[in-house]
């Protein structure tokens, strides 16, 4: 591990020199690439420098204890020695985590698809609440949301909603949200006061760039139609809505949020690119079965990952055996406790695999 850290330190110094080279600053592509590499290495370098400083403190403190007779200085040296040893243990664990292979998609924006599952109108209402929960989480992180398509029922619920969340590191946080979300409560449609169980599925897909997925436009069929639902003057008056069919896979995407047919077409292609990229990721994860076991719910969308029990005011994440009695806060977008716990469990599983190898 420490040989690798020394190599990273050398590379970091090389990057700093290159960034001060006028020929590099004039090459925007190279400059951006180096800045990204520097940003990725900075947390590792800072932790390693702190580790080396703590090791030096241990050496200095032991030297004082071996050669100094003044009791006050010896006591001070003992305190510094104990603090430095504790710091070393903490930093060693931190460095192990920082050196874990990084998911290449972690910094990407995400396409989110939420669909009402079992439970009819109640499932659609729950899907709408999940949409609002993720929008509030995006607001808390100062990320932007962008609607792509929406299919409502007559009660304010969403049969299906597709939207984008644009923000640095969005996928790194939200990738753990893919799966089946279950709600237990008395529906507004229930007159007898009985608790019902309904579900909604959530799919989190990293936004794919052209370099990630190339689409042959000959494989795409576009149909235009008039938008329906709430909207401005253009709704039901112009053929601005777009339906995109990807012939090889049978994927169909409808987009009518924008008044411009061209903008709806661009959005539909974004979703198609994300879905195709997500299919490739699923194949890769299936091929790497051992690695997939170390991931916390980022693969199988049929997996029931979480239950929201309204009568008891609790949320349970079944993958990590976490139960929180802060349902109201969580539905308002305060997902940090759950997401941070998923990240910690994922890292622990990957560290265990690394130690086994």
Q: Within 10 Å of residue 36's Cβ, how many Cβ atoms?
A: 11
Q: Are both 143 and 187 inside the same structural domain?
A: yes
Q: Are both 82 and 123 inside the same structural domain?
A: no
Could you tell me if 205 and 111 are in contact, meaning their C-beta atoms sit under 8 angstroms apart? Answer: yes
Query: Is residue 137 domain-resident?
Result: yes
Q: What is the pTM of this model?
A: 0.75
Query: Is residue 45 domain-resident?
Result: yes
Query: Is pLDDT of 287 > 70?
Result: no
Domain-terminating residue out of 71, 98, 125: 98
Which secondary-structure segment (H or E) carries 150?
strand 144-152
CATH of the domain at 37: 1.20.58
The chain-wide mean pLDDT, for the chain, equals 86
Q: Are both 118 and 170 inside the same structural domain?
A: yes
Distance CA(261)–CA(20), nearest Å, equals: 46
H-helix segments, the chain: 2-19, 22-25, 28-67, 71-98, 120-140, 170-174, 261-287, 289-293, 327-331, 336-356
Domain-terminating residue out of 282, 307, 331: 282
SS3 per residue for 307-356: EEECCCCEEEECCCCEEECCHHHHHCCCCHHHHHHHHHHHHHHHHHHHHH
141 versus 211: the higher-pLDDT residue is 141
Query: Is pLDDT of 309 > 90?
Result: yes
Q: Average of pLDDT values for 33-48?
A: 90
289 versus 177: the higher-pLDDT residue is 177
202 versus 119: the higher-pLDDT residue is 202
Q: Average of pLDDT values for 42-48?
A: 92
Q: Are both 164 and 303 inside the same structural domain?
A: yes
| Contact partners, residue 108, CB within 8 Å, separation at least 6 | 170, 171, 206, 207
Range of the domain at 88: 2-98
pLDDT band at 333, cuts 50/70/90? Answer: very high
CA atoms within 13 A on the CB side of 254: 13
Number of domains the chain is built from: 3
Q: Are both 221 and 203 inside the same structural domain?
A: no
Q: Average of pLDDT values for 234-247?
A: 74
Query: Is residue 82 domain-resident?
Result: yes
């Amino acid at each position: 591990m420490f040989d690798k850290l020394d190599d990273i330190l050398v590379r970091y110094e090389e990057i700093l020199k290159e960034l001060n080279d006028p020929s590099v600053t004039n090459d925007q592509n190279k400059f951006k690439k180096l800045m990204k590499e520097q940003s990725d290495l900075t947390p590792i370098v800072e932790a390693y420098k702190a580790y080396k400083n703590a090791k030096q403190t241990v050496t200095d403190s032991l030297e004082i204890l071996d050669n100094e007779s003044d009791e006050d200085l010896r006591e001070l040296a003992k305190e510094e020695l104990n603090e430095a040893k504790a710091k070393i243990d903490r930093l060693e664990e931190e460095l192990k985590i920082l050196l874990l292979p990084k998911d290449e998609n972690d910094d990407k924006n995400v396409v989110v698809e939420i669909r009402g599952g079992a439970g009819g109108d109640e499932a659609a209402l729950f899907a709408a609440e999940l949409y609002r929960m993720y929008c509030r989480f995006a607001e808390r992180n100062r990320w932007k949301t962008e609607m792509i398509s929406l299919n409502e029922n007559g009660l304010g619920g969403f049969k299906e909603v597709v939207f984008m969340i644009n923000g640095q590191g969005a996928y790194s946080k939200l990738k753990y949200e893919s799966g089946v979300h279950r709600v237990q409560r008395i529906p507004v449609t229930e007159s007898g006061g009985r608790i019902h169980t309904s579900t909604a599925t959530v799919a989190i897909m990293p936004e794919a760039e052209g370099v990630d997925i190339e689409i042959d436009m000959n494989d795409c069929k576009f149909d235009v139609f008039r938008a329906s639902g709430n909207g401005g003057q253009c709704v039901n008056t112009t053929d601005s809505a777009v339906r995109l069919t990807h012939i090889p896979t049978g994927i169909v995407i409808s987009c009518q949020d924008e008044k411009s047919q061209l903008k709806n077409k661009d959005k539909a292609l974004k979703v198609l690119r994300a879905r195709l990229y997500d299919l490739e990721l699923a194949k890769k994860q299936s091929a790497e079965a051992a690695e997939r076991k170390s991931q916390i719910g980022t693969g199988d969308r049929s997996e029931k990952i979480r239950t929201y029990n309204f009568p008891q005011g609790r949320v349970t994440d079944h993958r990590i055996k976490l139960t929180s009695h802060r349902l109201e806060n969580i539905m308002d977008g305060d997902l940090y406790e759950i997401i941070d716990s998923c990240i910690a469990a994922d890292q622990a599983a990957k560290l265990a695999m690394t130690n086994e190898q």
